[in-house]
């Protein structure tokens, strides 16, 4: 079975009288009723989920797992080896934090590998990972709740007459990750964690924090949402808005925390005292840095990986290097002088700051003139940056309702971002759509959709 046949059938159903409008009339109010908003914007603006066949999802999961093992291995090696760690370009404060004991073994309890899983003309798939979100991966709750809403759409109910539709979920895996590290940190299972979800007031992902609080409550876990300004550590106890907690689900980014407080913050002090379990730990910074893609693919580090991991990195991680004055090997194994080569190959490259999010500071070579590209390239010598090979982008047609009430099907860029747990497991994924090259909801546009494994009924 090809997922294209399922997509065509889905679009055919939407052309039946009343189906598209009735589905839209269910979706739009449902987004607001279920807190599926990013700031003030609805999270979803289309009428179709992403659909994979069992074989497509199995391939994606298998290859992601191998690549994940390589990142996990390098994360642990960087933790143990200060010389290798230098390649991540940590700041002095970050260098201190990654050496603070966090009380459990994994450096990345939760993470996300952002990728393009493109369909080729012959029906095969090309998989390219472009970023490792190792610090505070969003959308696990969004994806689950959005899938529940999609299940109520008339078009989905008609689709189930011919197809088995299995929603890929992630929230339960997130709770499992929390409990696993909490019990390892605590040393016993005598109680559930008391959780503080910590981030700045008014961030657009606040709605997801509330979805998690509700979900935690159904698992018997108490949780509060709190600003970094409203926590304190006194007499050996960590308080979030006056409530004693022993687990911090840290959604605030380390860079932003350090920019405001340096190392003088209650989360740092409580962690140093062993009074709280923190997810993700500060060691996540080693892999969250964009430099991790350069480290995992650099010929200098190949001996640190297994042959299987090297093959998977070569196949699925676009050629990436830190911007610096050096000789290295290009995508084909030929020696190059990096900066002149990167200048000459602008049309095939992207520049990214080492430590930003939401698409900030990304320079797309084929959309930038030569002078601006060279300026950005040499600025990257002062502010750590990576240069990365252009990845094959995935596109699919997605339906939405036009302003005149008509069904409109248009092409969107599609990314596929598997959620990762404990450096070894792949469970569910985030999918974002966009009509522009910079595919990121935080950057101010786009849509997310739930992901289903689709199989024709016998």
Cα 199 from Cα 253, distance rounded (Å): 8
What is the band of 458 on the pLDDT scale with cuts at 50, 70, 90?
Answer: confident
pLDDT tens profile 284-318:
999 999 999 999 999 999 999 999 999 999 999 99
Q: What is the mean pLDDT of residues 77-81?
A: 95
Residue 103 lies in a domain: yes
Its pTM stands at 0.93
Has residue 379 been placed in a domain?
no
What is the share, in percent, of the chain residues with pLDDT greater than 90?
Answer: 90
Residue 240 lies in a domain: yes
* Percent of the chain whose pLDDT exceeds 70: 97
Which residues span the domain enclosing 203? Answer: 3-287+394-456
φ and ψ of 219, to 5 deg: -95, 5
Mean pLDDT computed over 147-165: 98
Q: pLDDT tens digits for 234-286?
A: 999 999 999 999 999 999 999 999 999 999 999 999 999 999 999 999 999 99
Do the domain assignments include residue 331? no
65-98 burial string, b = 16+ CB within 10 Å, else e?
Answer: ebbbbbbbbbbbbbeeeeebbebbbbeebbeebb
Residue 42 belongs to a domain? yes
pLDDT average, residue stretch 165-172: 96
pLDDT of residue 442: 44
d(CA 232, CA 268): 11
Q: Give just the sign of the alpha carbon dihedral 38, 71, 109, 116.
A: positive
Residue 395 pLDDT > 60:
yes
HSE of 5, CA atoms in CB hemisphere, 13 A = 9
* pLDDT tens track for 371-383: 999 999 999 999 9
Distance, in Å, from the CA atom of 24 to the CA atom of 14, rounded to the nearest integer, reads 10
Name which residue leads in pLDDT, 175 or 108: 175
- Compute the mean pLDDT over every residue in the chain, rounded to the nearest whole number: 94
pLDDT at 97: 97
Burial class (CB in 10 A: 0-12, 13-18, 19+), 332: exposed
Residue 443 has pLDDT above 50, yes or no: no
Structure confidence at residue 441 (pLDDT): 41
The answer to whether position 84 is within a domain reads yes
Q: Which residues contact 114 (CB under 8 A, 6 or more apart)?
A: 129, 130, 131, 132, 133, 415, 417
Look at residue 397 and give its three-state secondary structure.
strand
- Per-residue confidence band for 437, with pLDDT thresholds at 50, 70 and 90: low
Distance in angstroms (rounded) separating the CA atoms of residues 143 and 168: 8
The CATH number of whichever domain residue 242 belongs to comes to 3.40.50.1760
The whole-number average pLDDT for the span 336-363 is 91
Which residue's structure tokens are 């992901």? 451
- pLDDT at position 358 is 64
The dihedral sign for the CA sequence 24, 25, 26, 27: positive
Structural domains of the chain, count? 1
pLDDT-based confidence at 446, cuts 50/70/90? confident
pLDDT reading at 439 higher than 50: no
- Greater pLDDT, 111 or 423: 111
Q: Tell me the mean pLDDT in the region 197-223.
A: 96
Does residue 217 sit within a domain? Answer: yes
The predicted-structure confidence for 405-431, as pLDDT tens digits, reads as follows 899 999 999 999 999 998 888 999 999
- Residue 313 counted as domain residue: no
Alpha-carbon gap, residue 216 to 195, rounded angstroms:
9
């Amino acid at each position: 079975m090809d997922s294209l046949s399922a997509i065509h059938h889905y679009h055919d159903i939407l052309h039946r009288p009343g189906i598209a409008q009735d589905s839209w009339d269910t979706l739009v109010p449902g987004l607001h009723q279920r807190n599926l908003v990013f700031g003030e914007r609805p999270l979803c603006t289309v009428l179709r989920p992403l659909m994979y066949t069992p074989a497509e999802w199995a391939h994606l999961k298998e290859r992601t797992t191998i690549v994940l093992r390589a990142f996990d291995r390098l994360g642990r090696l960087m933790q143990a080896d200060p010389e290798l760690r230098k390649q991540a370009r940590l700041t002095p404060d970050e260098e201190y934090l990654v050496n603070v004991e966090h009380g459990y073994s994994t450096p990345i309890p939760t993470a996300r590998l952002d990728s393009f899983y493109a369909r080729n003309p012959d029906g095969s798939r090309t998989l390219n990972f472009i970023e490792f979100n190792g610090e505070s991966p969003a959308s696990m709750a969004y994806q689950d709740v959005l899938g529940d809403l999609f299940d109520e759409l008339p078009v989905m109910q008609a689709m189930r007459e011919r197809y088995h539709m299995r929603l890929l979920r992630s929230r339960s895996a997130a709770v499992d990750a929390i409990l696993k590290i909490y019990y390892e940190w605590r040393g016993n299972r005598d109680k559930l964690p008391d959780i503080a979800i910590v981030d700045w007031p008014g961030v657009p992902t606040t709605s997801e924090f509330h979805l998690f609080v509700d979900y935690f409550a159904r698992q018997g876990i108490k949780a509060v949402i709190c600003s970094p300004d409203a926590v304190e550590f006194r007499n050996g106890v960590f308080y979030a808005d006056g409530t004693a907690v022993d687990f911090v689900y840290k959604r605030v980014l380390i860079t932003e925390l350090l920019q405001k407080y340096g190392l003088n913050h209650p989360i740092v002090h409580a962690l140093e005292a062993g009074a709280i379990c923190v997810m993700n730990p500060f060691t996540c910074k080693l892999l969250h840095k964009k430099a991790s893609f350069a480290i995992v693919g650099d010929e200098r580090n190949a001996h640190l990986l297994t042959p299987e991991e090297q093959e998977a990195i070569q196949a699925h991680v676009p050629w990436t290097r830190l911007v610096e004055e050096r000789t290295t090997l290009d995508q084909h194994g030929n020696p190059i002088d990096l900066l002149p080569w990167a200048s000459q190959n602008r049309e095939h490259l992207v520049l990214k700051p080492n430590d930003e999010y939401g698409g900030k500071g990304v320079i797309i070579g084929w959309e930038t003139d030569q002078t601006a590209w060279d300026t950005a390239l040499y600025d990257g010598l002062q502010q750590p940056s990576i240069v990365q090979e252009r990845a094959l982008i995935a596109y699919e047609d997605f339906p939405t309702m036009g302003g005149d009430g008509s069904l409109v099907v248009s092409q969107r860029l599609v990314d596929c971002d598997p959620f990762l747990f404990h450096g070894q497991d792949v469970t569910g994924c985030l999918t974002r759509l966009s009509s522009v090259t910079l595919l990121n909801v935080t950057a101010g546009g786009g849509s997310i959709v739930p992901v289903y494994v689709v199989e024709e009924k016998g």
